[in-house]
Structure 1
Amino acid sequence: MVKNPRTLPADGPAPAPSSPVRAAPAAPGLTGAGLAVVLTGYGLSNMDVFIVNVALSAIGADLHSGPAALELVVSGYGLTYALGLVLGGRLGDAFGRRRLYAWGLAAFTVTSGLCGLAPTIGFLVAARMLQGAAAAVLVPQVLATIQAATEGRARARAIGLYGATAGLSAVAGQVLGGLLVSLDIPGLGWRAIFAINVPIVSAALPAVRRVPATAADHRPGFDPLGTLLLGAGMICLLVVVVEGREPGRPLWLWSLLAVAAGAAVALVRVERSLADRGGSPLLAPAVLSLPGLRRGLAALVPFSVGFGSFLFCYALLAQGRFGLGGLASGLVL
């Protein structure tokens, strides 16, 4: 009986493939130096949310601005930061996270310098909004890089350090900001809280090459209309909150509430339509329907609103009413 030459015995060796298929090279791991670089940018962007609070009284006195304008100095940064996070993440997925991180870090340096050089309160508000947009470009790349370039214990450690950086940078913002304002180095006053970012980020930029280059397997979609509607609604609400408490409120101010409500309704319709067509909505309805996410938002949104309001009011009262300096105000908090 003759065996079929093309049939190997069950216990025989596996044949070598004539044209082996090469596996795609894995992304290089995230080293300690690379992790330090991405956490530096994240820490600075988070610190700048808080560092301004202890300098509000000094900013108001120097630029002759009232509480409403000072609110915009704080909330303007948060507005563009929040609006740009999803877009920044998708840009990193599409064009490379290390590249977008470097661009965001460079933009953060430039906008920090503009904040420190601001001659008027309007200029400072505009520069802060640009600074928030720069932070929105760099911050999403941090967790995305950790996710793509680590696994197992290394990923758990990196995420733990990410969380620690968030907490420590918030505390450092209060204390360091107060220290810089109190020391007045060298005659900069409140401007030093922005100027300090420039040398730190300038030193971190050359080290960005230590961060592994990663990107998404498939280029994600974008949602410019959804972003525009969300931004319009948030800006209208922000203007009403900031200006609505002043006496003699004009009618157009309250009409912004109707504009915000219309933008919200249109946003829901646009996002649902885009999701039904298989697109990539800014706020995916399917994600927002998750019970865990809804419970998380129900807890986080009131806390964030209350905490942000407390920090703003505390800084003005501690320094304006009780006469504490910047450093004492930060240390007390």
Structure 2
Amino acid sequence: MNILLPTTITPGMFGAGTSIPAVDASMGEVLWVSGTSYAVKDRRVWEGYTYECVKAAPNNTTPPSSTAGAEFWLRDEGAPTNRMAPFDEYLFTKARRATSLTYVLNPGFVTGLAIYGIEADTLDVRVRAGPGGADLVPPVHLDLWQQAFGEWEYLFGNLQRATSYTLKDLPLHPAAEVTITLSRNNAGVEAAVGYISVGQWSRLIAPMGRISAVVQGAEASTKSYAYYRENTDGTFVRRRGRQSTNMTLSCVIDADQANAAKTLLDRILDQTVAIEASGLPRFGYLSTVGSVTGTVRADSSATASVALQIKGNV
């Protein structure tokens, strides 16, 4: 089982090749400026988020994110800036760009990444030893169209695009530069991504060196946040809503790993993390982004078990 301990992305980590500006005027973003008068419902961006004016602010000099600024500004939790959208806790807030978008990140020591909520035809990932440096791993180029389940689906089915990707086992480097590019086959079509996380993958390994520690019975379930109302005449109103993937799974580990497993659960408590039951493609459905809670139990002198509940984020 794999859990990605995320590195917090700060403004200073974006490289020059990032194609989405800090304030994206093409998406209607306007930067908050000190000393300007603002009216109720004016929207401005500041430190990666959109704020809405809730009280008239003549000659406003208090930044929206400050304690004093809270009198005049309310942060819209569902409206990060276009650049920062993949780095909040939600998948539905997406960075968008016509034809292609590129992120160049300089996060320091990382061993992998996870990308979810992809809307694109191809994905390219390059990890180098600093800006312009040598490749730490071979560059990745993926066609995101999924493989057909069988001949009929290949010939007649409505093939879908993959919406997630993970990369592991990157060699450690103090100045690693990660470049992620999502592209469309047709110019002008919008490419988008909802979640990007870089950090350190942590693994729970089964006893006796087996690859996966997850036992039978792991499950993934889809939760819908749609609106539904049934009328007295039998008709109904349904509005599609956001969706998330919840998971429950358990795994058996060596007893010597129990302390490390408990420490891992403590570290990720109240954080949003990417988690996957296995790196094998056939278990791809057992992966999500969300909040993890769990227990570690001593089964015997040789083994321990970890039971996890993952509440997926929308």
User: What TM-score, normalized to structure 2?
Assistant: 0.23
- The structure where helix makes up a greater share of residues is 1
Which is greater in Rg?
Answer: 1
Higher RCO structure, 1 or 2 (CA under 8 Å, sep 6+) = 1
What TM-score does the superposition give when structure 1 sets the normalisation length?
A: 0.22
